[in-house]
Copies of this chain bind each other. A is one copy, B any other.
Amino acid sequence: MTQLADRPSTSTGPADSPSTAHVDAAWLGDYLLGTWADARRRARALAARPEFQRQDGLSLADQRARVLDQLGLLARSGTVHRAFPTGLGGQDDHGGNIASFEEIVLADPSLQIKSGVQWGLFGAAVLHLGTERHHTALLPSIMSLETPGAFAMTETGHGSDVAAIGTTATYDENTGEFVIHTPFRAAWKDYLGNAALHGTAAVVFAQLIVRGVNHGVHALYVPIRDENGFLPGVGGEDDGLKGGLNGIDNGRLHFDHVRVPRENLLNRYGDVDANGTYSSAIASPGRRFFTMIGTLVQGRVSLDGASVVASKLALDIAITYGSQRRQFVAGSPTEEEVILDYQRHQRRLLPLLATTYAMSFAHEKLLTAFDGVFSGARATDADREDLETLAAALKPLSTWAALDILQEAREACGGAGFLAENRLTQLRADLDVYVTFEGDNTVLLQLVAKRLLGDYSRRFAKADAGAVAGYVAGVAHEAAVNRSGLRRLAQNVRDFGSTARSVGFVRDGASQRQLLTDRVQTMVASLAARLKGAGRLSSVDAAALFNANQNELIEAARAHAELLQWEAFTEALAGIDDPGTARVLTWLRDLFGLGLIEKNLAWYLIHGRLSAARAEAITAYIDGRLLPRLRPHALDLVAAFGFEPGHIRASIASGAERIRQDEAREYYRDLRESGTAPVDEKTLRAQAGR
């Protein structure tokens, strides 16, 4: 929680009348909480309670035991059952469930992810891949945590490439059972939460083999432990200490011809009848696989949201501290600067604040799309595909950004940032794995690139070069006009003298959109042209051609995802009625948009979209205008995140630093006034020299 008293009264000059700029932090706070504000508030209330919070310095065993206990408390609180059917005590509230889950990161990421394993992966697999018989028989004890379970999909040998897992589930017609088997070491299930200690069952993904035919990856419910340990045929290992999330007992599992009844197949998308006949409502094995795997999207959605929450917390801590901490005498001989008044400090933190707002608004759109699909309200195949692409685009950017933001915040707090009591290092350690689990970020961005290329080729399968050029120039007529306008201006920009005038064009939202959109479209079109012949090549040569363009494919996907974030931020501006708040948020959006353009400035210059003068003006505008304008509102912008002391729990953001600073300044003031202050040797020498 930030203190109003810290806000400097800095004026930023008459341009754009920033004197009317202000932030209605209370209103903005509600706005940021979004559609599922109630669920978020309830979860935050839990997260503020010490019994749900991480405790530093516990041994690995104690930390795991504590988080298991907390999971039980969570189960009894009911907050984690929102997504389950109303008939079983849930609320069929998919968006609210994820929103609530995301806020638990404030208590402890270990608790968050362990609850995600139990109810979001293990339980959700039974819910989404199972049918009525599984729901009735299994969900109540999963919901209550009577049956802690593991989600046994990933193997040591295969993470992102789930289709290639080695575990088999072979149907035995004689006994009506499936035989679960691990054929080699690389097919051990690995990194599974609840597998090392607490899980008594698992949803096991395996190649389903019936009468000599492999029907591809399916999920089965498999008991793995009782009070005496592993059940016969089941074995495993503890993954031991990890880089973070040590409240979770990740481990490995392997199966030696373990038999489960036919009914344990989670049979919503594929079933085997008593006669040993396989059937599925989805004829294509490929489409069936992706439909089953599609339920995993909720993990990606929730990691995107949790990363937003953690980023907000990090910036609240660093910006609060930066507004109180004084270091180095700058202008005045007795007063040191508050470090957030240094340009570099602003450059380090304020663009990250803009990114966090963009991530927050983009996440709200993602969660809305998710709720539409999972509630069934907007759940066409196209909706599902859009949801998956959106999640695959946003999750990499936000999880990487959270690590960068936590790191920058920790460095901006100096040595104090390294202490566990200030939370930043531990949060970063815990969130580290978010960038590679639930879909490795690099793999996800490639999925996005494939989708972009697919859309592009569908559109232009039979189109001539003119249509392609039109697409690249912008879908709408207006956009095409803008772009030629841009080009023309770029040629003439040397005529403009001042920074303000040459940046003026880019400052407005439509131009930012044009530049960002143009880049995505041009990159995709250029890649499509280069990959055009791939279909006629041998599989080896086609793979080589794709591989030679892999880096650019990923960069195109990233550019697309950044555009989505920018669009979400811009759309959110339209919902702000208060002119002062809208003005500040527009500056923040500009900082985000111009930051993206600045990051990719070489591309815009190479492709003739910006002149050199205008490119330079962008940096000058960020440093000279946007940062000074936003600086006075920085504390309000983090206050709008709405965190209470029970969420922040970082001693440097508690106001202790301001008290220390005030005490020190008072000491020196008193000393000066008392007349007993020692004289500096430097001063004496200067006097003597005169």
- Tell me the A residues contacting B by CB distance below 8 Å: 56-57, 59-60, 154, 156-161, 164, 166, 183-187, 190-191, 207, 209, 212-216, 239-244, 278, 283-286, 327-333, 336, 341-344, 347, 403, 407, 410-411, 414-421, 424-426, 428-429, 432-433, 435-437, 440-442, 538-544, 546-551, 554, 598, 601-602, 605-608, 612, 615-616, 623-624, 659-661, 663-664, 667, 678-682, 684-685
Q: Quick one: which of B154, B164, B539, B602 contacts A615, CB cutoff 8 A?
A: B602
Inter-subunit contact A425/B244 (CB<8 Å): yes
Given contacts A213-B679, A415-B433, contact A184 B539 (CB under 8 A): no
Inter-subunit contact A608/B612 (CB<8 Å): yes
A61 to chain B, nearest CB (A): 9
Bound form: Cα–Cα A433–B425 in Å: 10
Inter-subunit contact B420/A240 (CB<8 Å): yes
Bound form: Cα–Cα A417–B191 in Å: 11
Nearest neighbor of A664 in chain B, beta-carbon distance: B186
Bound form: Cα–Cα A214–B680 in Å: 5
Q: Quick one: which of B190, B241, B547 contacts A420, CB cutoff 8 A?
A: B241
A471 to chain B, nearest CB (A): 22
Inter-subunit contact A664/B344 (CB<8 Å): no
Nearest neighbor of A659 in chain B, beta-carbon distance: B185
Inter-subunit contact A157/B661 (CB<8 Å): yes
Inter-subunit contact B660/A343 (CB<8 Å): no
Q: Which secondary structure characterizes the binding site on chain A?
A: helix
Inter-subunit contact A159/B414 (CB<8 Å): yes
**Which residues from chain B contact A539 at a C-beta distance below 8 Å?**
331-333
> Which interface residue of A411, A426, A608 has the most chain B CB atoms within 10 A?
A411
Cβ contacts A to B, 11 pairs, < 8 Å: A57-B60, A156-B416, A184-B663, A184-B664, A185-B660, A212-B679, A213-B680, A242-B425, A278-B681, A331-B538, A344-B442
Inter-subunit contact A678/B214 (CB<8 Å): yes
Nearest neighbor of A542 in chain B, beta-carbon distance: B331
Nearest neighbor of A441 in chain B, beta-carbon distance: B411
Inter-subunit contact B240/A57 (CB<8 Å): yes
**Which residues from chain B contact A680 at a C-beta distance below 8 Å?**
213-214, 216, 285
Inter-subunit contact A429/B436 (CB<8 Å): no
**Which residues from chain B contact A183 at a C-beta distance below 8 Å?**
667
Inter-subunit contact B343/A681 (CB<8 Å): no
Inter-subunit contact B161/A681 (CB<8 Å): no
Bound form: Cα–Cα A336–B186 in Å: 14
Bound form: Cα–Cα A412–B213 in Å: 35
The 9 closest A-B pairs by CB, nearest first: A243-B425, A331-B540, A601-B602, A241-B420, A331-B543, A330-B543, A214-B678, A605-B605, A343-B550
Inter-subunit contact A415/B154 (CB<8 Å): yes
Given contacts A161-B328, A420-B242, A421-B240, contact A344 B550 (CB under 8 A): yes
A296 to chain B, nearest CB (A): 15
A22 to chain B, nearest CB (A): 24
Inter-subunit contact B418/A436 (CB<8 Å): yes
Inter-subunit contact B243/A420 (CB<8 Å): yes
Inter-subunit contact A432/B418 (CB<8 Å): yes
A630 to chain B, nearest CB (A): 15
**Which residues from chain B contact A616 at a C-beta distance below 8 Å?**
606
Nearest neighbor of A437 in chain B, beta-carbon distance: B415
A319 to chain B, nearest CB (A): 17
A666 to chain B, nearest CB (A): 8
Bound form: Cα–Cα A344–B449 in Å: 14
> Which interface residue of A190, A543, A551, A660 has the most chain B CB atoms within 10 A?
A551
Nearest neighbor of A445 in chain B, beta-carbon distance: B344
Given contacts A184-B660, A663-B185, contact A241 B543 (CB under 8 A): no
Bound form: Cα–Cα A347–B660 in Å: 47
Given contacts A213-B679, A415-B437, A548-B624, 9 further A-B contacts (CB under 8 A): A57-B60, A185-B659, A241-B419, A341-B547, A347-B551, A411-B441, A415-B436, A601-B605, A605-B615
**Which residues from chain B contact A207 at a C-beta distance below 8 Å?**
678
Bound form: Cα–Cα A605–B212 in Å: 62
> Which interface residue of A159, A284, A343, A415 has the most chain B CB atoms within 10 A?
A415
Given contacts A212-B678, A664-B157, contact A411 B425 (CB under 8 A): no
Bound form: Cα–Cα A548–B420 in Å: 34
**Which residues from chain B contact A343 at a C-beta distance below 8 Å?**
547-551
Bound form: Cα–Cα A341–B544 in Å: 10
Bound form: Cα–Cα A57–B59 in Å: 7
> Which interface residue of A157, A660, A681 has the most chain B CB atoms within 10 A?
A681
Given contacts A344-B442, A435-B411, contact A418 B242 (CB under 8 A): yes
A466 to chain B, nearest CB (A): 25
Bound form: Cα–Cα A484–B436 in Å: 48
Given contacts A332-B540, A660-B156, contact A418 B442 (CB under 8 A): no
Bound form: Cα–Cα A157–B333 in Å: 17
Inter-subunit contact A682/B56 (CB<8 Å): no
Inter-subunit contact B606/A342 (CB<8 Å): no
Bound form: Cα–Cα A329–B163 in Å: 11
